[in-house]
Amino acid sequence: MAKVYDALRRAEEERRKLSDSAAQPVARLEWEPEVAPETAAKAPKPPRESLLRLLWPKRAGDEGAADINKRRIALLQPDSFVAEQFRALRGRVDALETAERRIRTLAVTSAVPGEGKTTASINLALVTALSVGRRVLLIDCDLRRPRVHSTLGLRPKAGLAEVLNGEVTFEEAVVRAEGADLDVLAVRDRPVNPSELLGSPAMRDLITAVAKRYDRVILDTPAALGLPDAKAVGDQCDGLVMVVRADKTRQEDVQSVLELLGRGRMLGVVLNGTSVDQSRYGYLS
């Protein structure tokens, strides 16, 4: 992980140089009222939509084809440089398996949203499913902002929440990704208690059951900081992979995630957004 820390440190130094060389104007909130100070107390409250867009600039409905295609590059361009990087990641995970430690269930997370953990989950699952005679399952555990179904063009009749609530069986909810030998348990309805569901005995029983049926189960979790969801899922898996984004992820956030999820459970880090000549996406394991 030393290379990742070095890359993050260099990115922070570059940001400091830029901020010291030129004063940056303060960004105004789009809902900031144009009123005098004495009447500011009477100004309307900011709409919740504007606040949410500051935290998550893009929603699933706002995405275009380019955004979605980047998250399934291994399916659309299986011979691309990016796909090869995910094959390398697959190989490194496989190399960590021993007779005493099997890695059947693998959770993928990040420190904060927007660092590429869903892209990593989907593409790692796709290239793993290319292995001959290997059964692979991808589970979307992001019950708050799911993206797996939209990326893979799925319209499930039921999803993870319905399975955990006992409304349907796993067999009734799992679907096959078109163009890939990959089973997917996506998200259909967003429950009001995502953290409780992911940490429930039903979730533990589900992970135990699918680990016996599949050679590799990859779970796309929400970002780890600020929410208990990633830890609830990660504690039930054989290992974790964290995605960090160059020029964005702070080193202290990486340290916080390692302490939260446990260094011993972390199999490795995927550095996303690096500069490479072969591809604009720059996924490196």
DSSP secondary structure code for residue 118 in this structure: H
The DSSP bridge pattern shows strands 183-185 and 239-245 to be unpaired
- List of residues 6+ apart from 11 with CB closer than 8 A: 246, 247, 248
Q: Compute the average pLDDT of residues 171-178.
A: 94
Residue with the bigger pLDDT between 86 and 106: it is 106
Segment among 36-40, 115-119, 149-153, 167-171 with least mean pLDDT? 36-40
* The pLDDT value given to residue 17: 53
- What is the model's pLDDT at position 56? 40
The Cα–Cα gap between 194 and 181 comes to 29
Residue 201 has pLDDT above 50, yes or no: yes
| pLDDT for position 160 | 97
pLDDT digits (tens, 9 = 90+) for 73-99: 656 566 777 778 888 899 999 999 887
* pLDDT, tens only, 234-261: 999 999 999 999 888 999 999 999 999 9
User: First CA to last CA across the chain, in angstroms?
Assistant: 10
* pLDDT tens-place string over residues 9-32: 665 565 455 444 433 433 333 333
Judge if pTM exceeds 0.85. Answer: no
pLDDT digits (tens, 9 = 90+) for 58-77: 454 555 565 665 666 656 56
Query: Given the structure tokens 């702070």, which residue do they identify?
Result: 250
List, in order of start, the domains of the chain with CATH numbers: 54-272 (3.40.50.300)
At residue 180 the predicted structure's pLDDT band, cuts being 50, 70 and 90, is confident
Q: Report the mean per-residue pLDDT for the chain.
A: 78
Query: Cβ distance 156 to 149 under 8 Å?
Result: yes
